[in-house]
């Protein structure tokens, strides 16, 4: 049985117990589980049973376990819990959380609640928390933790290990250790792997990696994720403008960043603008409207142009009304062809396979691909229109010739727009299906009616 | 200056040297760089300058560095290099690669080349490699490495550390260690963190975590990625059906999996079916056609229905030809509205926020959202059509009424189809823009002409 099935069983069992109001029995089961699983169970209770039940179960967990569980719960749900428990419980949880998790929670709370929580925090830590809270959204500063192992350049391997043994428990990771020089500037890093496999008498200065990769505290989180993906390091130090070590980021925090950034990309590609990172069901109706209406409106208005092209050819249309029946197919296929190309290019740009310098090679490839596709689709259409639907050969030729032109144009537009956007500094993801479809629709009706004028002499 | 800018400078410098044919100077610069950066430079040389130049630079690197660099190069490009260097060089590189990287390369090579490479490998390792090569694509088995630290249950902490000091260098990670019992069954795990911070005299049996998370060797890589994201562990053991430890997967290998799976999802959402994981420019024209044509063809044929709906209303159309001009707008807006909802729901499903049990809640939300959006867009349209374009009030009402119906229908279809797909075991990503647009187009023309019949009595 795999982890997923085991979890489903656990969930079922807990739900059953809750239905019978046997909260204590549910608690006893959850205490034995991995905190990540318990956290997921509590989230599921919130969604499927109710917030009250989730709070009851959460509060029944032993204190030390509850903090661990809390750290695995989604931020939205964490806030929901915070709003329902006593100040004393809040203080305990916030106190015990790892520094980076603490910051994540505090960032989402209203300022007056934060102040109240920080009242009892020692002055030094309060100042540090405030610094961290002031970093701009989505920058490296909001991902890092100041809880790292800091060694002295003069230590031997044995001394370093002794220091880690004593201080290691409060640190986010002990697998990479940092050595600073005068002015808190980061001088070098050393992995626990090197320490553990070296002779205890060796000075760590001989083993230090001084040519290390670092991240600037104001770097965007997307860049941070790329750096982790590229180098594969477990943690990367974060420095300020002057090269002073201000914190470290660990690899496990990068998964959330990747998920967030991917969601943003995919949503933008569908014309949804949402910066909240909230779950679908947690977003209010009005927020949903606000996220979706602007693009729909802009794109809808772009159809004024398509409409006037059609009006321009109204006389032609009314003489061969059969042409209207093929309009949706031509527009739809144009849109789909263009979206395919746009999506491939946008994804290529975002994973680093494509760049603006590849534009000509992309165009050449799309020209060939679209020619073959256009001709194939035309052939199928000719069969359909001339042979099966018994339209005049003129109508069939018009539709088929338009199809070839439309597919080629759509694929060229679809592949080039994201690269142009990138070149002029707009997010290429905005040049996806909705935008491409509006543009190809204009091209489609124009080519269609031009073909009709030429072939049918209407 | 951040890592990215530094890398751009490095790239420029190397390209300059290559242009002047100063290969040795380029080599001297690259030797000093991080192997991940050198690998990226070599990939860029391949793309922008030429394969020959890339091979020259790669072969000039010192042997030990070249292996490290090779392990960071994309698989496609690795194969390109392998095809151009001598058997002796290949053997050296393959020999020195970490086990999981070795498998990645061997998987992509033709069987006869693999046989030749494995000829000189010791029998035991050859057998192990063959086992690994036989795991099905995209399962946990293809991601794991057998190079882990295996401790004895009877060891003390001090003995364990001494063992790690001796054996640690060949292991993929030493930060999690594994203890097996009779029959190679995984009994417990212990982190180096616990070992380093515990008293050397303690028996490790007292510290072992025996309630650990594991992955089955045949689990899909997507599930593996989800497990890593959920628990945040640095490495997770892989076991077979009988619970025997067959390897471990480390967190750094998960980034590639996430990227692959996301690309697949996004491409499917645009009607592109591609399982090769190759870069856009490396895919041949015919492969591109093969990846895109099927969906375009299917969707195009679905427009036969839309076309026949229009034909059915041909008489109505010719009496109010002005209606044709608003068709693209209604269809386009319907498609965009539906795609927005579909994308939000597909993404919600894939990150675990939404499940089939949420269908009613999603529908209720979409109904309210689409009502507000539909009314707003209608109002704008009424102004445009009646006030600015001086069409009859009948035409204006027809378009506006159709708009409301279309947006509501599109958003319901768009949000429900992915959930239905999930329910019946189809990938929800297939229910995105292209599919939704085809369906909403049918709904759009039908509602439009029904409104026209009712309001304009045509």
CATH of residue A180: 3.10.580.10
Q: pLDDT digits over A416-439, tens only? A: 999 999 999 999 998 888 889 989
Residues B157 and B234 in one domain: yes
A-B contacts (CB, under 8 Å): 349
Q: pLDDT digits over B83-130, tens only? A: 888 888 888 888 888 888 888 888 888 888 888 888 878 888 888 888
- A374 in Cβ contact with A444 (< 8 Å): no
Chain A neighbors of B230, CB-CB under 8 A? 36, 40
Q: pLDDT digits over A6-20, tens only? A: 888 899 999 999 999
Are B377 and A267 within 8 A, CB to CB? no
For residue A134, what pLDDT is reported?
Answer: 86
How does the average pLDDT of chain B come out, rounded?
Answer: 90
Give the helix ranges, DSSP H, for A99-251.
99-108, 111-118, 123-133, 157-167, 192-196, 221-231
Domain for residue A271, yes or no? no
Which of B47, B303, B336 is the closest to A299 by Cβ?
A: B336
Are B376 and A192 within 8 A, CB to CB? no
Distance of CA A282 to CAs A53, A77, A268, A278, Å?
A: 18, 10, 19, 6
Chain A neighbors of B2, CB-CB under 8 A? 215-216, 219, 223
Q: pLDDT digits over B330-370, tens only? A: 999 999 999 999 999 999 998 888 999 999 999 999 999 99
Q: pLDDT digits over A401-410, tens only? A: 999 999 999 9
- A37 in Cβ contact with A25 (< 8 Å): no
Chain A neighbors of B69, CB-CB under 8 A? none
Which of A138, A166, A196 terminates a domain? The answer is A138
Residues A166 and A107 in one domain: no
Q: With bands split at pLDDT 50, 70 and 90, how would you rate the model's confidence at B74?
A: confident
Residues A175 and A209 in one domain: yes
For residue A2, what pLDDT is reported?
Answer: 64
Are B303 and A332 within 8 A, CB to CB? yes
Is the per-residue pLDDT at A120 higher than 80?
no
Are B175 and A197 within 8 A, CB to CB? no
Report the residue of A193, A281, A325 to disrupt the B interface, i.e. the one with the largest count of B CBs within 10 Å: A325
Are A174 and B161 within 8 A, CB to CB? no
Chain A neighbors of B65, CB-CB under 8 A? none
Cα A325 to the center of its chain, rounded Å: 41
Domain for residue A236, yes or no? yes
Residues A122 and A88 in one domain: yes
Domain for residue B167, yes or no? yes
Element (H or E) spanning A238, and its range? strand A235-239
Are A255 and B228 within 8 A, CB to CB? yes
For residue B346, what pLDDT is reported?
Answer: 94
Residue A248 backbone dihedrals phi, psi, to 5 degrees: -135, 155
Residues A326 and A438 in one domain: yes
Nearest alpha-carbon partner for A399 in A410, A408, A386, A390 = A386
Measured in angstroms, the CA of A269 and the nearest CA of chain B are apart by 9
Measured in angstroms, the CA of B88 and the nearest CA of chain A are apart by 28
Chain A neighbors of B328, CB-CB under 8 A? 303, 306-307, 310, 327, 331, 441, 445
Residues B159 and B110 in one domain: no
How does the average pLDDT of chain A come out, rounded?
Answer: 90
Nearest CA in chain B to A73: B230
> Which CATH number characterizes residue B293's domain?
1.10.357.20
Handedness of CA A122, A126, A127, A132 (dihedral sign): positive
Report the residue of A278, A332, A357, A402 to disrupt the B interface, i.e. the one with the largest count of B CBs within 10 Å: A332
Chain A neighbors of B323, CB-CB under 8 A? none
Report the residue of A343, A362, A396 to disrupt the B interface, i.e. the one with the largest count of B CBs within 10 Å: A343
Which of B269, B308, B314 is the closest to A321 by Cβ?
A: B314
Q: How large is the ipTM?
A: 0.83
For residue A113, what pLDDT is reported?
Answer: 80
Domain for residue B184, yes or no? yes
For residue B1, what pLDDT is reported?
Answer: 54
Residues B286 and B418 in one domain: yes
Residues A215 and A66 in one domain: no
Chain B neighbors of A324, CB-CB under 8 A? 310, 314, 317, 324, 327
Chain B neighbors of A267, CB-CB under 8 A? 343-344, 347
Element (H or E) spanning A388, and its range? none
Which of B252, B269, B290 terminates a domain? The answer is B252
Domain for residue B264, yes or no? no
Nearest CA in chain A to B161: A196
Q: pLDDT digits over B219-275, tens only? A: 999 999 999 998 989 999 999 988 899 999 999 889 989 998 999 999 999 888 887
For residue A192, what pLDDT is reported?
Answer: 94
| Other beta carbons less than 10 A from residue A350's beta carbon | 22
Q: pLDDT digits over A24-58, tens only? A: 999 999 998 889 999 999 999 988 888 899 999 99
Distance of CA A457 to CAs A364, A447, A452, B34, Å?
A: 33, 14, 7, 67
Is the per-residue pLDDT at A1 higher than 60?
no
Residues A354 and A448 in one domain: yes
Q: In terms of residue numbers, what domain contains A385?
A: 280-456
Handedness of CA A135, B230, A96, A166 (dihedral sign): negative
Chain A neighbors of B336, CB-CB under 8 A? 271, 295-296, 299, 433-434, 437
Domain for residue A331, yes or no? yes
Is the per-residue pLDDT at B423 higher than 90?
yes
Which of B258, B307, B344 is the closest to A325 by Cβ?
A: B307
Q: With bands split at pLDDT 50, 70 and 90, how would you rate the model's confidence at B2?
A: low
**Residues 6 or more apart in contact with residue A239 via CB below 8 angstroms:** A186, A214, A215, A216, A217, A245, A246
For residue B178, what pLDDT is reported?
Answer: 95
Q: How many residues appear in chain B?
A: 458
Cα A253 to the center of its chain, rounded Å: 13
Is the per-residue pLDDT at B414 higher than 90?
yes
Chain B neighbors of A373, CB-CB under 8 A? 289, 292-293, 296
For residue A4, what pLDDT is reported?
Answer: 73
Are B321 and A322 within 8 A, CB to CB? no
Q: Using the 8-state DSSP alphabet, how is residue A271 labeled?
A: T
Residues B100 and B186 in one domain: no
Are A296 and B368 within 8 A, CB to CB? no
CA-only gyration radius of chain A, Å = 30
**Percent of chain B whose pLDDT exceeds 70:** 99
Average pLDDT over residues B18-30: 90
Chain B neighbors of A254, CB-CB under 8 A? 255
Three-state DSSP class for B85? coil
Are B296 and A337 within 8 A, CB to CB? yes
Rounded Cα gap, residues B147 and B129, in angstroms? 12
Q: With bands split at pLDDT 50, 70 and 90, how would you rate the model's confidence at A258?
A: very high
For residue A257, what pLDDT is reported?
Answer: 92
Measured in angstroms, the CA of B27 and the nearest CA of chain A are apart by 18
Chain B neighbors of A351, CB-CB under 8 A? 259, 263
Average pLDDT over residues A343-368: 92
Residues A134 and A181 in one domain: no
Are A292 and B329 within 8 A, CB to CB? no
- Between the CA atoms of B181, B183, B185 and B189, what dihedral angle is there, to the nearest 10 degrees? 30
Which of A211, A292, A339 is the closest to B340 by Cβ?
A: A292
Domain for residue A54, yes or no? yes
Q: With bands split at pLDDT 50, 70 and 90, how would you rate the model's confidence at A102?
A: confident
Domain for residue A400, yes or no? yes
- A400 in Cβ contact with A438 (< 8 Å): no
Chain B neighbors of A174, CB-CB under 8 A? 193, 196-197
Q: Is A42 exposed, middle or buried (0-12, 13-18, 19+ CB in 10 A)?
A: buried
Residues A239 and A341 in one domain: no
Measured in angstroms, the CA of B119 and the nearest CA of chain A are apart by 32
Number of folded domains that form chain A? 3
Are B3 and A213 within 8 A, CB to CB? yes
Q: With bands split at pLDDT 50, 70 and 90, how would you rate the model's confidence at A339?
A: very high
Handedness of CA B209, B210, B211, B215 (dihedral sign): positive
Measured in angstroms, the CA of A166 and the nearest CA of chain B are apart by 7
> Which CATH number characterizes residue B34's domain?
1.25.60.10
Which of B117, B138, B159 terminates a domain? The answer is B138
Measured in angstroms, the CA of B248 and the nearest CA of chain A are apart by 16
């Amino acid at each position: 049985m795999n982890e997923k099935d085991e979890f489903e069983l656990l969930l079922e069992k807990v739900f059953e117990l809750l239905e019978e109001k046997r909260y204590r029995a549910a608690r006893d089961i959850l205490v034995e589980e991995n905190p990540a699983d318990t956290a997921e169970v509590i989230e599921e209770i919130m969604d499927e049973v109710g917030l009250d039940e989730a709070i009851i179960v959460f509060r029944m967990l032993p204190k030390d376990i509850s903090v661990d569980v809390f750290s695995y719960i989604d931020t939205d749900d964490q806030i929901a819990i915070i709003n329902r428990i006593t100040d004393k419980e809040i203080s305990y949880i916030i106190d015990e959380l790892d520094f980076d998790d603490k910051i994540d929670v505090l960032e989402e709370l209203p300022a007056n609640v934060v102040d109240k929580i920080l009242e009892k925090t020692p002055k030094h830590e309060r100042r540090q928390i405030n610094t961290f809270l002031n970093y701009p959204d989505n920058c490296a500063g909001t991902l890092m933790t100041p809880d790292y192992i800091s060694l002295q350049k003069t230590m031997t391997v044995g001394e370093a290990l002794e220091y880690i043994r004593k201080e290691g428990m409060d640190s986010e990771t002990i697998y990479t250790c940092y050595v600073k020089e005068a002015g808190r500037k980061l001088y070098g890093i050393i992995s626990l792997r090197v320490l553990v496999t070296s002779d205890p008498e060796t000075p760590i200065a001989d083993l230090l990696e001084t040519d290390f990769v670092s991240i600037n505290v104001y770097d965007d989180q997307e860049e941070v994720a790329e750096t982790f993906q590229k180098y594969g390091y477990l943690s990367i130090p974060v420095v300020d403008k002057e090269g002073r070590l201000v914190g470290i980021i660990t690899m496990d925090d990068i998964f959330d960043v990747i998920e967030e950034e991917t969601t943003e990309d995919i949503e933008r590609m569908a014309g949804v603008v949402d910066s909240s990172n909230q779950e679908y069901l947690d977003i209010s109706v009005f927020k949903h409207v606000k996220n979706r209406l602007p693009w729909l409106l802009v794109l809808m208005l772009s159809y004024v142009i398509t409409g006037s092209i059609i009006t321009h050819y109204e006389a032609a249309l009314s003489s061969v009304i059969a042409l209207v029946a093929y309009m949706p197919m031509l527009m739809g296929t144009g849109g789909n062809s263009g979206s395919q190309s746009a999506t491939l290019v946008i994804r290529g740009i975002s994973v680093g396979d494509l760049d603006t310098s590849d534009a000509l090679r992309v165009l050449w490839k799309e020209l060939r691909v679209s020619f073959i596709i256009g001709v194939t689709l035309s052939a199928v259409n000719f069969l359909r229109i001339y042979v099966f639907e018994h339209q005049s050969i003129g109508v069939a030729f018009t539709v088929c010739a338009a199809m070839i032109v439309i597919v080629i144009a759509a694929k060229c537009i679809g592949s080039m727009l994201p690269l142009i956007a990138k070149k002029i500094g707009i997010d290429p993801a905005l040049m996806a299906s909705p935008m491409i479809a509006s543009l190809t629709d204009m091209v489609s009706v124009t080519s269609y009616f031009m073909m009709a004028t030429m072939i049918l002499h209407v």
